[in-house]
Amino acid sequence: MNIIIIEDEPRTAKDLKAILTAVDADINVLAMLSSVASSIKWLQENAAPDLIFSDIQLGDGLSFEIFKEVKVTAPIIFCTAFDEYAINAFESNSIDYLLKPIEEDRVEKSLQKYHRIKDHYAGGSYAGNLEKAISQISHTYKQSILVHYREKIIPVKTADICLVHAANGLVTLHTLNDQAYATQYTIDQLEGMLNPTQFFRANRQFIINRDVVQNIEHYFNRRLVVHTHCPSPEKIIVSRLKAQEFLRWIEQ
């Protein structure tokens, strides 16, 4: 199996190469590249490897710039220190990741995952999935939303948000502990702040956290009604046009 390593820390690149060859003697590391520019050049001038291990932050930019410039058909395992919301973007698109410092058992598990799903990358959907993942990871999503409550400013963790509800010109965050906080943001602004792998815009009134979905019912005119573990101020209805998208999102 032919692999390239994109990593700007020589020691880390050397250690990763040693781990890879120790885990699988059939692995051939074709190149160890240390920058966006050198990686683009190599990928343009050489046949695609079977697999790419890539750091995210390189000396001359983010590795995402490489994959925007060059059409990549090989799967990528990112080496990252990014937060859990970015990691969700990898996982939702079947892209694996390694947290630094890189450990041998984690590399071995990533390679096992590659062998289990490698046929998927031969399909035409991979390039679109990679583009979607890069778009999500490149976007910085909020981990907390500031709200004004009883003359105080309170940070509400996005992980604690059950629902976002808009009604009568007021947008409210409903939390897992049954608190409700009015916010100065519009629901459209909050939609852009919240990670779409975790939150779904059901309609004009609601954004839903996937972790609170209890069950889903079919509703009149091919719409859906979503029931949640936390109380909802009104019935949550997903439109006919969004119904299939919502069901695919739930299954991610």
Helix and strand element counts for the chain (H, E) = 8, 17
Banded model confidence at residue 94, pLDDT cuts 50, 70, 90: very low
Tokens 């996005």 correspond to what residue? 158
CATH number for 218: 2.40.50.1020
Please check whether residues 119 and 164 belong to one and the same domain.
no
pLDDT greater than 90 at residue 64: no
Q: What mean pLDDT value characterizes the chain?
A: 85
Please check whether residues 122 and 61 belong to one and the same domain.
yes
Tell me the CB-side half-sphere exposure of residue 106, using CA atoms within 13 A: 14
pLDDT of the residue at 118: 67
Please check whether residues 40 and 112 belong to one and the same domain.
yes
Please check whether residues 63 and 30 belong to one and the same domain.
yes
pLDDT of the residue at 66: 87
Please check whether residues 96 and 213 belong to one and the same domain.
no
Q: How far apart are CA 117 and CA 103, in angstroms?
A: 22
72: tokens are: 């990549």
Tell me how far apart the terminal alpha carbons of the chain are, to the nearest angstrom. Answer: 29
pLDDT greater than 60 at residue 86: no
Q: Report percent pLDDT > 90 for the chain.
A: 48
pLDDT of the residue at 151: 87
Please check whether residues 169 and 69 belong to one and the same domain.
no
The last residue of a domain, from among 106, 138, 170: 138
Task: Tell me the whole-structure pTM to 2 decimals.
Answer: 0.50
Q: How far is CA 240 from CA 57, 128, 217, 226, in A?
A: 41, 25, 13, 13
In the sheet with 199-201, reading across from the earlier edge strand, the strands are 180-183, 170-175, 161-167, 206-209, 199-201
pLDDT single digits (tens) 131-172: 655 555 555 678 899 998 888 999 999 999 999 999 999 999
Yes or no: say if 76 and 97 are a contact pair by the CB < 8 Å rule. Answer: no
Please check whether residues 102 and 209 belong to one and the same domain.
no
pLDDT of the residue at 79: 82
The last residue of a domain, from among 138, 157, 186: 138
Among 6-10, 100-104, 160-164, the minimum mean pLDDT is found in 100-104
pLDDT of the residue at 92: 39
Please check whether residues 129 and 23 belong to one and the same domain.
yes
pLDDT of the residue at 210: 93
Question: What is the domain extent for residue 70?
Answer: 2-138
CA angle 12, 13, 15 (to 5 degrees): 65
Helix or strand or coil: residue 107?
A: helix
43: tokens are: 């990928």
Domain count, the chain: 2
Please check whether residues 153 and 107 belong to one and the same domain.
no
pLDDT of the residue at 127: 54
Banded model confidence at residue 85, pLDDT cuts 50, 70, 90: very low
CATH number for 29: 3.40.50.2300
Please check whether residues 134 and 149 belong to one and the same domain.
no
Please check whether residues 88 and 74 belong to one and the same domain.
yes
Please check whether residues 90 and 148 belong to one and the same domain.
no
The last residue of a domain, from among 112, 138, 164: 138
pLDDT of the residue at 122: 55
Sign of the CA dihedral running 188, 156, 249, 171: negative
